[in-house]
Amino acid sequence: MIHAVILAGGSGTRLWPLSRRQLPKQFLRLEGDRSLLEATLDRLQPLVEPANALVVTGCEHARGEAYQALRPFRTLLEPVGRNTAPAIALAAAWLSRKGDDPVMVVLPADHVIRDLPAFHAALRQAIAAAEQGALITFGIRPTHPETGYGYIRAVTDGRTDAPVERFTEKPDVATAEAFLADGHYWWNSGMFVWRASTILDEIQRHLPDLYEVLERIRAEWRREPERDDPQPAIEALFHEMPSISIDYGVLERSENVRLVPCDIGWSDVGSWDAVHDLAEHDTRGNAAQGNVLAIDCDNTLIHAGKRLVAAAGVRDLCVVETADAVLVVPRGETQRVRDLVDELNRRD
Ligand code: GDD
Ligand code: MG
């Protein structure tokens, strides 16, 4: 049995002002009429049925604006965000509570993948390798010394999967540059495949504090098996989980990681520049979303919510209009949105 675990608890601050605490990036319809979360599940068919998908996200989304988007899916709802390791541990424990040991395809809810056949081929390879008891990562060919990603050293030599020598989460620029020069490093895509028992064993070994809280949650689940409701125990105990990502907590420390290299048209849509790159452009590199009138512009991204946004003679600019905030930032500097959000939070 193959299950999908969708990580949808992030706050997606880099796409502010469209992405908000109440309705973060994964719930947005950035392309067409499907949200990034829905597109993530669409993309898995026919390899994983929607009925076998479990979305792990924050409690607040079960009530707020995101509620409609989550309604069709089975969910585990976290009372507080504790990053990805506790979210994944919880999903592995829940999916194996009746003694099964399913293969879990763990996917971020907020990425775009353009080449579906290549993605499915990589997924099939990953599932086959995970069945043998390894932690499977997907390697993307790095193009620049990005510091927001994990880097994986693996010598693939044309193989469909290869042992990982080293996993380094979010290196500094100099280290990332050295990794690129090395030639055997891959970006970690943030997608993983493993058996529930494999990841639980690794968590027990590398994150014993987390595992101890998980054991207490499982004991609560076992006390009322006929109820089969994950939430009461999560609400009572999840806040005791340490906050740590699966990358720092397990992948950097484990000796059981393998890499499936892939070229799948992947983007983590991590900035407005990435949105620009993914969108359709005119011949002068302008991407317009919504009600936009642009004359004589070059290399712009203009996103209009309800109002008309009109621009003439501007270049290298991102403009994002929403009901209560308008963002203006140069193209190539859209990572600075994070600084704006930090400053806004300080003023709150
Ligand atoms: N349920 C839940 N709870 N989900 C979470 C939480 C949480 O507390 N925190 C983050 N997520 C979700 C996010 O919504 C996203 O889908 C996914 O988990 C990854 O979290 P990010 O916060 O986006 O991680 P990152 O971008 O810094 O780094 C990861 O992704 C990179 C590729 O985009 C790492 O895996 C890197 O190694 C990787 O290169
Ligand atoms: Mg991310």
Q: Are residues 58 and 154 both part of a single domain?
A: yes
Question: Is residue 64 scored above 80 in pLDDT?
Answer: no
Q: How far is the CA of 92 from the centre of ligand 1 (A)?
A: 17
Triad 252, 253, 254: Cα angle to 5°: 105
Q: Are residues 37 and 156 both part of a single domain?
A: yes
Question: Mind listing the pLDDT tens digit for each residue in 167-197?
Answer: 999 999 999 999 999 999 999 999 999 999 9
The ipTM of this complex is: 0.99
Q: Residue 267: helix, strand or coil by DSSP?
A: strand
How sure is the predictor about 149, in pLDDT bands with cuts at 50, 70 and 90? Answer: very high
**Which domain range does residue 297 map to?**
272-347
Q: How far is the CA of 232 from the centre of ligand 1 (A)?
A: 25
Q: Are residues 210 and 94 both part of a single domain?
A: yes
Domain boundary among 235, 267, 299: 267
Query: Please, what is the average pLDDT of the chain?
Result: 95
Q: Residue 227: helix, strand or coil by DSSP?
A: coil
Query: Is any ligand 1 atom within 6 A of the Cβ of residue 106?
Result: no
Q: Are residues 22 and 91 both part of a single domain?
A: yes
Domain boundary among 267, 302, 333: 267
H runs (alpha helix) in 192-261: 196-206, 208-223, 231-237, 246
pLDDT (average), residues 230-258: 98
Distance in angstroms (rounded) separating the CA atoms of residues 147 and 261? 20
Q: Indicate which atom in ligand 1 lies nearest the CA of residue 190.
A: 35
pLDDT (average), residues 314-322: 98
Q: Are residues 12 and 29 both part of a single domain?
A: yes
How sure is the predictor about 67, in pLDDT bands with cuts at 50, 70 and 90? Answer: confident
Q: Are residues 218 and 168 both part of a single domain?
A: yes
Question: Is residue 343 scored above 80 in pLDDT?
Answer: yes
Distance in angstroms (rounded) separating the CA atoms of residues 131 and 247? 21
Query: Is any ligand 1 atom within 6 A of the Cβ of residue 190?
Result: yes
User: How many domains are there within the chain?
Assistant: 2
The answer to whether 288 and 276 are in contact (CB under 8 A) is no
Q: Indicate which atom in ligand 1 lies nearest the CA of residue 57.
A: 1
Closest CA to 1 of 51, 74, 57: 51
Q: Are residues 29 and 62 both part of a single domain?
A: yes
Which pLDDT value is given to residue 99?
Answer: 95
Q: How far is the CA of 96 from the centre of ligand 1 (A)?
A: 23
Q: Are residues 242 and 288 both part of a single domain?
A: no
Closest CA to 124 of 103, 95, 109, 145: 103
Give nearest CA residue, ligand 1 atom 19. Answer: 108
Q: Ligand 1: which of 21, 138, 149 to mutate, judged by most atoms within 8 Å of the beta carbon? A: 149
Q: Are residues 91 and 236 both part of a single domain?
A: yes
Question: Is residue 32 scored above 90 in pLDDT?
Answer: no
Closest CA to 143 of 301, 263, 281: 263
Q: How far is the CA of 273 from the centre of ligand 2 (A)?
A: 15
State the greatest distance between any 2 C-alpha atoms of the chain, in Å, as a whole number. 67
Q: How far is the CA of 306 from the centre of ligand 1 (A)?
A: 30
Q: Are residues 186 and 331 both part of a single domain?
A: no
Region of 313 (left: φ > 0; alpha: ψ -120 to 50; beta: rest) is left
Distance in angstroms (rounded) separating the CA atoms of residues 40 and 315? 33
Q: Considering every ligand atom shown, identify the ligand nearest to the alpha carbon of residue 112 and give its number.
A: 1
Report for 24-28, 33-37, 217-221: range of highest mean pLDDT: 217-221
Question: Is residue 272 scored above 90 in pLDDT?
Answer: yes
Q: Considering every ligand atom shown, identify the ligand nearest to the alpha carbon of residue 88 and give its number.
A: 1
Question: Is residue 65 scored above 80 in pLDDT?
Answer: no
220 residue type, one letter: E
90 residue type, one letter: L
Give the C-alpha distances (Å, rounded to integers) separating 43 from 113, 117, 214, 230, 240: 8, 10, 30, 27, 34
Domain boundary among 267, 296, 331: 267
Q: Are residues 166 and 278 both part of a single domain?
A: no
Q: Are residues 192 and 150 both part of a single domain?
A: yes
